[in-house]
Structure 1
């Protein structure tokens, strides 16, 4: 877009000069409405797959309506996945609090104990997670410290409820007791800790994109998803969004089979709703990695 702000009329002219076709119902007026709603910069991530050279020219026949269609496919998929991701996050948080707290019943702040956790985590926890801002911005934590001013930390069943999914993962990772970690991983049908942690990282990667309105459709995991008989990946692609979705659905199935079935049907229905658009179908197959069964 360059270093100079442009009007919506100028934006449309730029796109037209690069080969974009504005033929949908409403034409230019509808395009102006969408650009003022979504934004030129954000939509740029969705017309990127249609560009054919370093000058950002579009393939012949590229329609603005297809760009918008891809944008809403991405939005709808994030909304569907968010429901699954929230369920997984809450479940893992609950299991971690329950099993570790009952393993150390006399230590309600076990997450700050070097007998339970690796020292590096304990040393960094007050500065990275349990900050003054954290204590003041979460009412139950603030109330706890008002009622118990001598406590350095609130107990695990309060504290962990307000930590990020990434921090929950780090707490699991930092537990010293390997058997306890195996026990928690086993709740999800996974025997090897490193596979469980790899799967969790995959879930968190997608969760962060969905939670922060990132670009989802061409999201590839930075690290390969571990191979396991539990999940079969299309074309053995262990980076694709479809493979990440399979991991999410696997976790969800261990929590609630009925919920997993509902979410999976919603995803398939969303992809199938674009079956009449070969341009979007190609992106679903090649970028997302979804293959119809």
Structure 2
């Protein structure tokens, strides 16, 4: 049973103060709580909370002399120097970051629509409905959970998105020509997830042809990256915290030398960095450098990084964001920062 009581905005602020969070401008702090919400802001002051060191046994049981490993538990109290203003600065940075990432993802999504519709459309305007023109593992082999090919569920999803579309050109083509719509029209109603799933279901040679446009050459690698970017898009589109997000759908390591710029990203010891968003932003830049070589996106991202409210004593550091100095110096990214 949920036992935490409802608290007024003033009570919420007093609760933070009593736990040691410094509040220098109470009217402004109340305004932020009322406008943004205590729970959403809590994700940004969470790193400021103190931790207690614990030692957990390795393996089952706790016999005398059993080896232990250090861990920690988050406490309610805040570290010395923690402030409401610092949490707000981190929130503002994160908001700017999400908007910038959405800008990159929009360009990638639009380009992907063109790539997929042009590639499949040359075979048949309705190739996206034809199992023979797609990868057999996607279009014909039964999924272990549903007993049906993944293509069946995908077709239902894309049809729903077309039916819900209020775009005039979609209505015009449905009224004039009926169903199905050719892929170069239908794809304009699909979201990023639907596009990335269709790319994942394309024949390997078609995937490779599209991946080659982006200097990746390996279609399965690009399919994995697109799944990760769809996860990134969902985080940003739902206004969720991004800066220290634990990336659940991590991008696949490309075959060695297939994407030379990323050969060092998956080296041993980088597991924590792989679970943070910076690598996904590097992937965005890799794709954007082919979509629009003159894009200033990485430059704008680099400038935003200078606003990052780094404060190691409060647990706000580059490591939580996943930034690596080595990655910032990679040739393909360094050029865009000049």
Give the TM-score normalised by the residue count of structure 1: 0.87
Cα distance in structure 2, aligned partners of 1:8 and 1:147 = 56
The answer to whether 1:116 aligns with 2:133 is: yes
Which of 181, 198, 204 is the aligned partner of 2:230? 204
Superposition pairs for residues 272-283 of structure 1, below 5 Å? Answer: 272-274=306-308, 278-279=311-312, 283=316
Deviations 1:30-77 (A, max 9, x none): 101111111111001111111124442211221100000000010011
Gaps of 5+ in 2: 52-73, 141-148, 329-338
Deviation of the 1:274 alpha carbon: 4.1
Instruction: Please say if residues 112 and 125 of structure 1, whose CA atoms lie closer than 8 Å, have aligned partners that are also in contact.
Output: no
Cα distance change on mapping 1:136 and 1:12 into 2, 3 Å = closer
The answer to whether 1:148 aligns with 2:184 is: no
Cα distance in structure 2, aligned partners of 1:5 and 1:280 = 32
Instruction: Please say if residues 208 and 218 of structure 2, whose CA atoms lie closer than 8 Å, have aligned partners that are also in contact.
Output: yes
Cα distance in structure 2, aligned partners of 1:56 and 1:45 = 13
SS at match of 1:257: coil
SS at match of 1:57: strand
SS at match of 2:282: helix
Deviation of the 1:201 alpha carbon: 1.9
Q: Which residue in the other structure is 1:51 paired with?
A: 49
Cα distance change on mapping 1:126 and 1:281 into 2, 3 Å = same
The Cα RMSD (Å) is 2.3
Deviation of the 1:218 alpha carbon: 1.1
Instruction: Please say if residues 231 and 249 of structure 2, whose CA atoms lie closer than 8 Å, have aligned partners that are also in contact.
Output: no
SS at match of 1:154: coil
Instruction: Please say if residues 66 and 280 of structure 1, whose CA atoms lie closer than 8 Å, have aligned partners that are also in contact.
Output: no
Q: Which residue in the other structure is 1:63 paired with?
A: 83
Deviation of the 1:210 alpha carbon: 1.2
Deviation of the 1:90 alpha carbon: 0.5
Deviation of the 1:278 alpha carbon: 3.0
Superposition pairs for residues 1-293 of structure 1, below 5 Å? Answer: 3-23=4-24, 27-53=25-51, 54-102=74-122, 104=123, 107-117=124-134, 118-119=139-140, 120-131=149-160, 134-139=162-167, 140-149=169-178, 151=179, 153-175=180-202, 177-225=203-251, 226-227=253-254, 228-231=259-262, 232-233=264-265, 236=270, 237-259=273-295, 262-274=296-308, 278-279=311-312, 283-292=316-325
Deviation of the 1:83 alpha carbon: 1.2
Compare the two structures and name the one with the higher strand fraction: 2
Deviation of the 1:22 alpha carbon: 0.7
SS at match of 1:115: helix
Compare the two structures and name the one with the higher helix fraction: 1
Cα distance in structure 1, aligned partners of 2:291 and 2:214 = 8
Cα distance in structure 1, aligned partners of 2:314 and 2:225 = 27
Moved more, 114-123 or 76-85: 114-123
Deviation of the 1:88 alpha carbon: 0.8
Deviation of the 1:280 alpha carbon: 9.2
Cα distance in structure 2, aligned partners of 1:91 and 1:280 = 42
Deviation of the 1:123 alpha carbon: 2.2
Instruction: Please say if residues 19 and 78 of structure 2, whose CA atoms lie closer than 8 Å, have aligned partners that are also in contact.
Output: yes
Cα distance in structure 2, aligned partners of 1:126 and 1:108 = 15
Instruction: Please say if residues 200 and 220 of structure 2, whose CA atoms lie closer than 8 Å, have aligned partners that are also in contact.
Output: no
Gaps of 5+ in 1: none
Cα distance change on mapping 1:122 and 1:143 into 2, 3 Å = farther
Cα distance in structure 2, aligned partners of 1:98 and 1:10 = 58
